[in-house]
Every structure is written in C-alpha cells, then in structure tokens.
Chain A
C-alpha cells in the first residue's frame, strides 16, 4: 500500500485566483493521477502526472486551466487556475504502486470552494 497526503485539506478561494494542491507519497510510485469529484458526483480523471515530462490530460481538461507538475516519483502538484464557482469540487490524488498492478490508492482529497 501507499500513504498519501494532500495539502491543503480544504480551502475557500475567490473567483479569478489560483490554488496549488500538493500530493506527497511515502514511497516511489510509477504513476500518479489527479481526479475531480464535483459535489454529489462521481470521480472524473483530470490527468496523469508523468515524472519528468508533461502531464497527459483527459478530454475536457487543458493544461492552461490545470497545470500539473511531477518533479520526482513521490510528489506532484495540481494548480486550479483562474477559478470560478464551477471549479468547486474535491480534488483527489491517486497513485499506482509498482507492487500490484492496477491497484490504486487515493489521497484524502482537497475540498475546494470558490466564491
């Protein structure tokens, strides 16, 4: 398994500002992902964070809005840029461990409210 922490756990932000969410894992992992969970909804994949290269974004998500960094195998950040109330969601980081293929572990999430 993997222990994942996210910072901040929650935040309230003003429209037009940006917020950077951090994800830290206690061990090196092959793949890291960022998901969005809108209020009362399911999880939607935003992007795969690739170590040392640009993130791979899913349809409907763009780098200008959700820039992602992954400087090493244990850390990643997601920035939500130029926020609007529609960005109010829970943002979750997940990791795929190298021990058991396709077994993902999730961070505790960051609850973002945009006013």
Chain B
C-alpha cells in the first residue's frame, strides 16, 4: 500500500516571500503520478500541480514548482512570490497509473502574513 507523509502540520510565510512545503511518499510501483492540491476555507479542492514519475523534469505552474526526487521519494512544493490568496490547506497526493484513486497526505496549513 502507498503512504504519503507531510511532516509540516503548519507553515507560514510573508507576502511576496517564498515557501517550501515538504512531502515524502512510499510506493513499490515504478510509474505513478504525484499531485499537490489546495483546499481553501471554502473547502473546494483545487489541483495546483501534477508530476509524472517517469519525467525527470520538475513540473512548474506559474509561481508553483516542485522538487521531485524519485530515488528519495520526495516531492516538495515551492510557492514563489506568495500571495494572500495562497493561504489554504495543501495536500500532497499519490496516484497510480492503473487506477484513478488517490492517497493523500495529512495536509499542511499555510498562512500568509501581509
């Protein structure tokens, strides 16, 4: 079975600064997907960024980028130029290639200070 671990229950950052959220996972599969989802107080889950395990290049989406270390089974999210709207719960998730269900980490609450 897969496990996903987020060791930072809470993080905070000043507006316009950069913050990195950590995620590690464990799997015996060689091909899979990794995701970061954002859940603001409205509770709507929003996909932030997606990484295919077979790709060595780290995914980027505007101010969001990941540091994917397959051998170390690490998948961190970097948020640059943090904005007040980035404040939310962030979940790291693992997904297999033969089915769609996701395994989620415990979540990290991100606070952005003006």
A33, A104, A108: the one within 8 Å of B42 (CB): A108
A45, A103, A111: the one within 8 Å of B101 (CB): A45
Cβ contact within 8 Å between B43 and A104:
no
A44, A58, A111: the one within 8 Å of B43 (CB): A111
A-contacting residues, B52-89, CB 8 Å:
none
Cβ contact within 8 Å between A45 and B102:
yes
Instruction: Tell me the bound Cα distance from A104 to B44 in angstroms.
Output: 13
**How many chain B residues touch the partner (CB < 8 A)?**
22
**How many chain A residues touch the partner (CB < 8 A)?**
23
Cβ contact within 8 Å between B100 and A90:
no
Which residues of A have CB within 8 Å of B42?
108
Which residues of A have CB within 8 Å of B47?
103-105
**CB within 8 Å: A-B pair count:** 52
Chain B min CB distance to A100 (Å): 9
Instruction: Tell me the bound Cα distance from A105 to B35 in angstroms.
Output: 12
Chain B min CB distance to A90 (Å): 6
Cβ contact within 8 Å between A43 and B101:
no
The answer to whether B36 has its CB under 8 Å from any CB of chain A is no
Chain B min CB distance to A110 (Å): 10
The answer to whether A42 has its CB under 8 Å from any CB of chain B is yes
Which residues of B have CB within 8 Å of A111?
43
Cβ contact within 8 Å between B100 and A104:
yes
Cβ contact within 8 Å between B43 and A109:
yes
Q: Which 6 A-B pairs have the closest CB atoms?
A: A106-B45, A96-B100, A42-B104, A43-B104, A31-B100, A102-B33
A sample of 14 cross-chain residue pairs with beta-carbon separation below 8 angstroms, ordered by A number, consists of A33-B100, A42-B106, A43-B91, A44-B104, A92-B45, A94-B45, A101-B97, A102-B96, A102-B97, A104-B35, A104-B102, A106-B45, A109-B45, A111-B43
